[in-house]
Amino acid sequence: MTCFMCKGDMEEKLTTFMVDLGNCIVIVKNVPSHVCRQCGEISYSDEVSERLEKIVDAMKNAPVEISVSTYAA
């Protein structure tokens, strides 16, 4: 797999995904992702993106300012 930003080599790594929804920040740890060795661009497979969306959906209504979850259930 090559980076769509710089065409560099991507390596598989576990990263921390974070999204700021305005009223709440959702953090998901240990997300399987591809990280560019050159520019640091992070990309997720379709399967991982879908699962992240579901995790964010499930957590965004929690009455807390920061939700922390781990990808591997």
Q: Which residues bind Zn ion (CB under 5 A)?
A: 3, 5-6, 8, 36, 38-39, 41
> Toward Zn ion, which CB reaches closer, 41 or 56?
41
> Toward Zn ion, which CB reaches closer, 6 or 18?
6
Closest separation in Å from C-beta 40 to Zn ion: 7
CA 18 to each of CA 2, 4, 6, 34, 72: distance values in angstroms, whole numbers, following the listed order: 23, 21, 23, 16, 16
**Alpha-carbon gap, residue 53 to 26, rounded angstroms:** 11
Closest separation in Å from C-beta 9 to Zn ion: 8
> Toward Zn ion, which CB reaches closer, 6 or 64?
6
Host H or E run for residue 16? strand 10-20
**Alpha-carbon gap, residue 42 to 22, rounded angstroms:** 22
Closest separation in Å from C-beta 15 to Zn ion: 14
